[in-house]
Structure 1
C-alpha cells in the first residue's frame, strides 16, 4: 500500500537539497513544509520508516540514465547492469580536468573552467559524433519547456553532472550493490523496472526522475518572472495551492505559510519551491492524470530513462513543434481522486 509520496530537489550542495513529503490520509494527502534532505545514505531508510513500512513514491530532480550514444559504446546490456558494475570502475566519478583524461570509464568533465573548452570537444574526447550526443532524449528541448543540461557536463549554474554524481554514489548505488544493515531498504528505478505505479511495494522506494520546468506545465502553473525571486514565487502561491487542491493534497500550517511567503528570501527558496512543485507532479502521476510510463523506445526504457509524466517529444530539426507521444497509463491508485 502506498503511504508516502516525496520529492527531493537535488543539488551538489547539501544546503540546497530540499525534500517535500505528502502523507496518505483517508481522504487524500497531507503536505508538510519542505525540509533539508539530510544524510543521503539514510534517506531511503528514513522515508520507509515515515511510511510505516508502506510504499514510497519518490521523485528527484536529477538525471537517472545515460545518453544512448554513450550507452552504445558500453559493454553492459542496460543501465541497471551498468550501475551494478560501477563498483569495478573506481575512477568513474572522478571529474576530468583535461580532455586527454576523458574516456568511457571517466566521462565527467570539466573539473574547472579552462579557456577554449566546449561541449563539442568533450563529446569528441568521449568518441561521440557531436555535442548533441551528450544529451538524452528527455534532456532535449520540447515545444513546452527548454532543454536540460547533459549528464556528464559539470560546469556552470545549469550543470547536472555533480548533482548526479552525489546521488548515484550515495543514494542509488548502495541500494543496488552489496549494501549494509543500515541501507538495505529496496530501491526500484523507473522506468527501467516497469511503470511507476507497478514499482510501488511495501517497504520499498520507487524512484523517478523529475524536471521542475516540466512539472510546472503538468500542473498548469505559469510562473511569471523568475523562481529565483521571492516576490515571483509569492505571486504563484494561489496557483500552487490550487494545484495542491486538485491533487486532494492539504498543506499543513507550515506549508501554507511557506507558500504565501514565497518560500523565504534566502538562496534556497527556489529549491524549496521546486521540491513542492515536484511532489505535486508525483501526486499528479499517481492519480493517473499523467502517464507513469516512458515512450516505447528500447533505448529510453533500457538506457536513457525519461522524465516522470512527460508526454512532449523533443523537438527535432525540421519536425513539428507540437509533436507529443501518447503513453499508456495504468489505472489510478485506489482512493486517489482521478
Structure 2
C-alpha cells in the first residue's frame, strides 16, 4: 500500500508531493514535474494499491448540482461522470466576472478589479458556491479564482482540467464517486481523493485519534519548525516504527510542509486502522468527500 499526498495549486512549479510506503514504514518527498500526468506515471509504477490525496476540491456544491445535471444533454449520474464524460459545456472553465453571468454550467469566477461583492455572487448562485464541507471548515469558495486572500478557484480549475486530460491516458478512480475506498483499493489502479491540510494537521499531530481540526501559521518558518518537531516526537511514529525523510525541505517551504503533514496524517489513519471514510461524511453523487474526516472530533 502506498499513499501520495499532494499540495496543489495553479502554479505547477509550486506543487509538492510526499510518498508514504506503508510496507517499509517510510515517508519521503516524491520528485515530479508538477503535472498530474507525471504524478500518475509515478503512481502507476508502484506495486500494489496507491491512494493519492490532493489538496483541491473534487466535487460540486449540491445546491447547484441539480441545475447542472438537468441542463446536460446526457445527464450524468455523478460529478465524476460529468467531469470525465461527454456532458461538459464548451465554456465551463471560462470565468465570469459579474453575478448576472454566473451559472452552474459556467461556475468559475474572476471578479472585476476594484470593489466587488462575494455575497452578490453567493446570492446569484442561490447559495450554490459552497459544499457542506466548505462551510464546516470555513474554506474559501471553490470557484473564486482571485480577489480573495488564499483563493482556491484557480487550483480547482487546474486540477479538473488535468483530470480531464488524464481520462484517455490511463486508468484511475475518483473517490467517492466511483466507490468506497475499501472497494477501489482492490482494483489495482490509483485512487484520487480530496484532502484538506487543516484536517491533516490535527490528524498527524494529535496525541490520539479522533483528532480536532488544527490551524498552523504555515507561512512562518518558526511555526513549521515547531509543528515538525511535534510530529517527530509524536508517540505514534515510534509505535509504528516510521521513518520520515526530507524534514528540512518541509521546514524551508510551506508547500512541502503541507504535503508532508498530509502524508503523515493519511499514513497514521491507515496504520492505526482509524476510520478514513464514513457514509455520513461523503456524497458520492455531487459533493464528494474529505479523506480522514471520519477521524476528526468535529465531523465534516
TM-score interval w.r.t. the shorter chain?
Answer: 0.7 to 0.9
Indicate the residue corresponding to 1:231 in structure 2.
222
Once the two structures are superposed, the pairs formed by residues 205-216 of structure 1 within 5 Å of their partners are 205-216=190-201
Once the two structures are superposed, the pairs formed by residues 179-190 of structure 1 within 5 Å of their partners are 179=168, 183-184=169-170, 186-190=171-175
Q: Can you list the C-alpha shifts for 1:108-130, whole angstroms capped at 9, x where unaligned?
A: 11255342x2222213333x1x4
Indicate the residue corresponding to 2:100 in structure 1.
100
Q: Does 1:157 align with 2:153?
A: no
Tell me the distance in 1 between the aligned counterparts of 2:291 and 2:66.
Answer: 24
Quote how far apart the aligned CAs of 1:36 are.
5.0
**Greater mean deviation of Cα atoms: 303-312 or 208-217:** 303-312
Structure 1: gaps (5+ residues) = 314-321, 326-338
Once the two structures are superposed, the pairs formed by residues 4-83 of structure 1 within 5 Å of their partners are 4-25=2-23, 28-33=24-29, 35=31, 37-49=33-45, 51-52=46-47, 54-74=48-68, 75=70, 76-83=76-83
Contact 1:197 1:286 in 2 (8 A): no
Per the normalisation by structure 2, the TM-score is 0.84
Tell me the distance in 2 between the aligned counterparts of 1:121 and 1:152.
Answer: 14
Indicate the residue corresponding to 1:286 in structure 2.
270
Contact 2:82 2:88 in 1 (8 A): no
CA shift in 2, pair 1:284/1:86, >3 Å: farther
How many residue pairs match? The answer is 285
Tell me the distance in 2 between the aligned counterparts of 1:90 and 1:216.
Answer: 38
* SS, match of residue 106 in structure 2: coil
Contact 1:84 1:173 in 2 (8 A): yes
Tell me the distance in 1 between the aligned counterparts of 2:237 and 2:112.
Answer: 41
Q: Does 1:137 align with 2:122?
A: no
Contact 1:150 1:159 in 2 (8 A): yes
Q: Can you list the C-alpha shifts for 1:129-176, whole angstroms capped at 9, x where unaligned?
A: x4xx421111123xxxx4111211222232221101111111x22344
Structure 2: gaps (5+ residues) = 71-75, 207-212
1:310 to 289, 293, 300: 293
Indicate the residue corresponding to 1:167 in structure 2.
159
Contact 2:173 2:184 in 1 (8 A): yes
Tell me the distance in 2 between the aligned counterparts of 1:225 and 1:41.
Answer: 30
